[in-house]
Amino acid sequence: MPRQSLEILKICKPRSFGDREMLFECGRKSTEMHILLSGTLTITAADGTRIAELSPITSVGEMGVITGEPRTATVVAFKRASVFELSKIKLEVLLKKYPDIGFLIYRNIIGILSGRLNNTNKDLIACQQELVEIKSAGILS
């Protein structure tokens, strides 16, 4: 709905990140989330393992904003990226004022996280199958 979109846009802060500029660092406090409008973001685990590459339009940082837990990954812009930043505090105020908007936001976030979990499960199954094939070929004991 236009009114709902306008209320969300009111609390968004446009931001740009240059090539290899960090948006979030693993282990840090979660105080905002971003909606990627243009560019690419790379996600890496604490050990440096590349987890994912995100393209527009998607969100990043939503898990920590909702749970209050520290960041579980590091997020870095690849080349240049433009985002809308939503602070946890402003988002919470908006959700108290407009519960109907909160329902839509949470439903969208659940959909995004479910899709990511589903993709991760598929990747895990593929890796397990590959490991079985390697073991049966005698490459690993």
For 15-29, the pLDDT digits (tens) are 999 999 999 999 999
Phi-psi bin for 118: left (phi > 0), alpha (psi -120 to 50), beta? alpha
| Domains in the chain, CATH or no CATH each | 2-136 (2.60.120.10)
CA distance 59 to 25: 16
Check residue 141 and give its pLDDT.
61
> What pTM was estimated for this model as a whole?
0.78
Residue predicted with more confidence, 29 or 140: 29
For 42-91, the pLDDT digits (tens) are 999 999 999 989 999 889 999 888 888 999 999 999 989 999 999 999 99
Q: Which two tokens stand for residue 26?
A: 């693993």
Are 31 and 51 in contact by the 8 Å Cβ rule? The answer is no
Amino acid at 69: E
